[in-house]
């Protein structure tokens, strides 16, 4: 479900589940974990570029069909496992990861991009944390990383409305640092990666750790996991996911 090519110090990683808009199911998360662990260990990999297959989606979130019947405990495990194996792992990987957002980055998809060190987007990309429309909240660090990136007020509005923003607005807010046409997205990523490759890998590793320390609050991340799991198994959760699966609007 992922494609990898390593060339001249850059690992190009593409999430390849286009028919489901690259939604993150369990198998995909564990594959991502293996891929990133291998990149971390490989001295030939200096920079990683993460993108989605097709032009429609980067990642349209966690796979809703997979967690639709989860109870609180399963909800907590989903969040904890994903955070440990993928999201926090990427944030602390010690090598720059560039998220090249080639379309929808929603829910876990935006959280995945926010775990990366650098984010760039295609003009047509759309970003959002729509979890509340499903009766849950972001569970992969979204409530923590979004305010860090765009400020509490903007993050609160995005999380509480669940609305998507376009790439232009994401650039204004500082959620991404560059917006280019879809066809130029990977060459822009290559150009940023080229700049990074000129620098000391050891210094990049230490810089990432130091920048992360500026706003890391373990308590916030832990609380998010509790709040996330509290939503599972509730009537509103059941209505939210059922409505998605039945392709209708939820009635809370």
| Contact by Cβ (8 Å): 14, 63 | no
- Binding residue for ligand COA, selected from 11, 13, 15, 23, defined by CB under 6 A: 23
Query: Which x/- pattern over 27-66 shows residues binding ligand COA (rule: CB under 6 A)?
Result: ---------------------------------xxxxxx-
Least distance between ligand COA and beta carbon 20 (Å): 4
Instruction: Note whether 104 binds ligand COA by CB under 6 A.
Output: yes
Q: Would residue 5 show up in a list of annotated catalytic residues for this protein?
A: no
Considering only residues 120 through 149, tell me which ones interact with ligand COA, judged by CB under 6 A: 130-131, 134
Least distance between ligand COA and beta carbon 6 (Å): 29
Least distance between ligand COA and beta carbon 228 (Å): 10
Q: Would residue 131 show up in a list of annotated catalytic residues for this protein?
A: yes
Instruction: Note whether 113 binds ligand COA by CB under 6 A.
Output: no
Instruction: Note whether 26 binds ligand COA by CB under 6 A.
Output: no
Instruction: Note whether 108 binds ligand COA by CB under 6 A.
Output: yes
């Amino acid at each position: 479900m992922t494609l990898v090519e390593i060339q001249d110090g850059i690992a190009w990683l593409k999430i390849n589940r286009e028919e489901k808009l690259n939604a993150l199911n369990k198998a995909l998360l564990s594959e991502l974990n293996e891929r990133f662990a291998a990149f971390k260990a490989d001295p030939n990999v200096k920079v990683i570029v993460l993108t989605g297959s097709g032009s429609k989606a980067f990642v349209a979130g966690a796979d809703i069909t997979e967690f639709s019947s989860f109870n609180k405990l399963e909800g907590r495990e989903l969040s904890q496992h994903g955070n440990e194996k993928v999201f926090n792992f990427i944030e602390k990987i010690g090598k720059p990861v560039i998220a090249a957002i080639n379309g929808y980055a929603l829910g876990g998809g935006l959280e995945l991009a926010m775990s990366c060190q650098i984010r760039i987007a295609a003009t047509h990309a759309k970003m959002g944390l729509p979890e509340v429309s499903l009766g849950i909240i972001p569970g992969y660090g979204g409530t923590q990383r979004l305010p860090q990136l765009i400020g509490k007020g903007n993050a609160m509005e995005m999380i509480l409305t669940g609305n998507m923003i376009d790439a232009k607005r994401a650039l204004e807010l500082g959620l991404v640092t560059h917006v280019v046409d879809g066809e130029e997205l990977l060459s822009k990523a290559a150009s940023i990666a080229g700049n990074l490759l000129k620098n000391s890998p050891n210094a990049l590793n230490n810089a990432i750790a130091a920048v992360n320390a500026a706003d890391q609050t373990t308590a916030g991340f832990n609380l998010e996991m509790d709040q996330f799991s509290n939503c599972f198994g509730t009537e509103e959760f059941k209505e939210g996911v059922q409505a998605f699966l039945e392709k209708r609007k939820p009635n809370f």
